[in-house]
Amino acid sequence: MTTSNPFFPGSDGNSGYLFRRIPPKYFLLAKRNTIVNSPPYTDDWRGLDGAWASRFLKRVEQLASKETYEQLIVKNSYEYESLNLLEISGNVSSRKIEHKLVSELPIDSKRQVTNVVEEDGIRTPRNQTSIDEDVLKAAAENLTRLDDVKYFQEFVPLFERYKEQQRSNVYSCTNDDVMDIRGDSGFARFLTVSQYAKLLSVRPKRKAVVPECWREVVDEYFMDSVTKGGRKKILADWVHITDSLVKGKDGDTEDVTRIKRYLYRVMSPLIESFLKPIPDISSPNTSEHHYWSEFGHRFFSKALQDFVGLDWRVMEVPVFASKYRKNYGLDLAVQKVVEGKYADLLAWSWETGEEFFIGEQAGPPTEPDLTKFAMDSFKLYRELRDCLNVRILHAMEKGDDSYSDRAVFGVLGYLFEMKMLIMWKDGIYVYEEFGSLTIASHWNKIYTMKAGILKLLEFMMVMKMEVNHSTEIDCDTDNDKIQILKRKFNEITQTGKVFCPL
């Protein structure tokens, strides 16, 4: 015997299924709509009116095309055991055919492949289909002989001496002709203080203007640790300030709304963490993946998306520019560790397919691990060098005589600090630090993040200028020089050798 559920009248207590009671008037209304919206019954479609005839012909055309394609697939393939898979396999096969045709096109034609979202909703990754394989193979090579040194002529001999000292160190960036000019690098310690100061003074300065309205919003949010009334801020004050970002004010401009939205998106997870009895951002059992996915990457990925217009992926993303790079003089066990072809954060441009930004997090924020830090630092500069080589080769392919001015960007996180880095080329590769952002490990340190956030915004503006520059070509460039650059590009990509500069 079955009993009715007292909470759901009309339901079967044993089976648990709910039978909805539909009033008769709604039932009759639904039946009437079905009849009215149905096509008139006829054996001859020509007897239908204009609207139904057009719909009928369109449907017939779709079914005929599908039937023809299904017959072709069944005839030429024995791998599909069920016709239920044909619709999916058709989409995949069409993309494979398209990619095969693209690989056979001339180099100039490959840049024109559009980023299409097919009917099945699958987006073909532009940065993995439009980049020529020859460019990727050449990107694994050393391009230091491409052009002359502009800024560091007197420091190259010193770098060569330091490189000779580091020859036995397989993890030294000097083996890839990368001159690390960060203050804590081995090369900086190799120089005297006066030499290092002069090196920094001759390097090109990268400055970008952060909108004044952005600075005002950041200043207001990260105001001193006391309220306007003189009372020391508590966590509830930060919750209220963060929530007010999304409410906005009358008269807020588009730029003000953008920066407020960004601050809310990056600070909300941090504030929510501090509301817990044991904040997971500083908990002893917080893993590297949890910290990076929940907190670390957001400060950069959201800015890359909102302010620079780059697409991004997070957590073990394959770096396409490193596809053909090989490691040197390492045994198989160590080679696996330092192979470095997957990034914790990767951002690229859909327009050019170039990878502009790479992020790495070296371990969890509460466990110092110098071994992991050294490995990720080694891994990051090699990934950046590959991406820079691809950008240089693309510029040469287009005939841009300013190809040597390209740069790529990265971030290296260790504990709660995230260092912003830039790699560019001045004959040799140059690796420099732009600034850093330290994420608050406790709610009473939130106000100390202001300087880091402003530096991050400036970093994004520098990157935006670089992204915009990559899509622009000087139309007044001498055509002869363009042809010479293209010839040089073909020599590098076809032979893998770097010849003397122009």
Over residues 173-184, the pLDDT tens digits come to 888 889 999 999
Give residue 184's domain range. Answer: 152-202
pLDDT in tens, 334-388: 555 555 578 889 998 888 888 999 999 999 998 898 888 988 898 899 899 999 9
In a domain, 284, yes or no: yes
Domain end among 202, 222, 244 = 202
Give yes or no: residues 291 and 172 share one domain: no
Give yes or no: residues 219 and 198 share one domain: no
In a domain, 255, yes or no: yes
Q: pLDDT band at residue 4, thresholds of 50, 70 and 90?
A: very low
3-state secondary structure 402-430: CHHHCEEEEEEEECCEEEEEEEEEECEEE
In a domain, 216, yes or no: yes
Does residue 318 or residue 165 have the better pLDDT?
Answer: 165
Average pLDDT of the residues in 401-421: 92
In a domain, 501, yes or no: no
Give yes or no: residues 198 and 216 share one domain: no
Q: Residue 215: what pLDDT? A: 93
Does residue 226 or residue 22 have the better pLDDT?
Answer: 226
Give yes or no: residues 278 and 177 share one domain: no
Give yes or no: residues 239 and 357 share one domain: yes
In a domain, 358, yes or no: yes
Domains in the chain, number = 2
**Residues forming a β-bridge with 423:** 408, 431
Which candidate, 394, 409, 432, places its Cα nearest to that of 111? 394
Give yes or no: residues 354 and 257 share one domain: yes
Which candidate, 270, 210, 280, 276, places its Cα nearest to that of 242? 270
Give yes or no: residues 197 and 297 share one domain: no
Give yes or no: residues 353 and 427 share one domain: yes
Give yes or no: residues 191 and 293 share one domain: no
In a domain, 446, yes or no: yes
Which candidate, 384, 490, 501, 496, places its Cα nearest to that of 141? 496
In terms of DSSP bridges, do strands 428-438 and 178-180 run parallel, antiparallel, or are they unpaired? Answer: parallel
Torsion of CA 269, 270, 275, 281, to 10 degrees: 110
Give yes or no: residues 190 and 246 share one domain: no
| Ramachandran area for residue 121 (φ above 0: left; ψ -120 to 50: alpha; else beta) | left
Does residue 340 or residue 100 have the better pLDDT?
Answer: 340
Q: Residue 403: what pLDDT? A: 84
pLDDT at 213 > cutoff 60: yes
In a domain, 35, yes or no: no
pLDDT in tens, 133-168: 777 777 777 787 767 788 899 999 999 999 999 988
In a domain, 431, yes or no: yes
- The amino acid that residue 64 corresponds to is A
Does residue 375 or residue 122 have the better pLDDT?
Answer: 375
Q: pLDDT band at residue 280, thresholds of 50, 70 and 90?
A: confident
Which candidate, 446, 410, 417, 464, places its Cα nearest to that of 300? 410
Give yes or no: residues 224 and 337 share one domain: yes
Strands (E), 91-216: 178-180
Does residue 259 or residue 9 have the better pLDDT?
Answer: 259
Give yes or no: residues 448 and 334 share one domain: yes
Domain end among 202, 226, 244 = 202
pLDDT in tens, 227-262: 666 566 788 889 998 998 888 788 888 899 999 999
DSSP 456-484: HHHHHHHHHHHHHHHT---TTS-HHHHHH
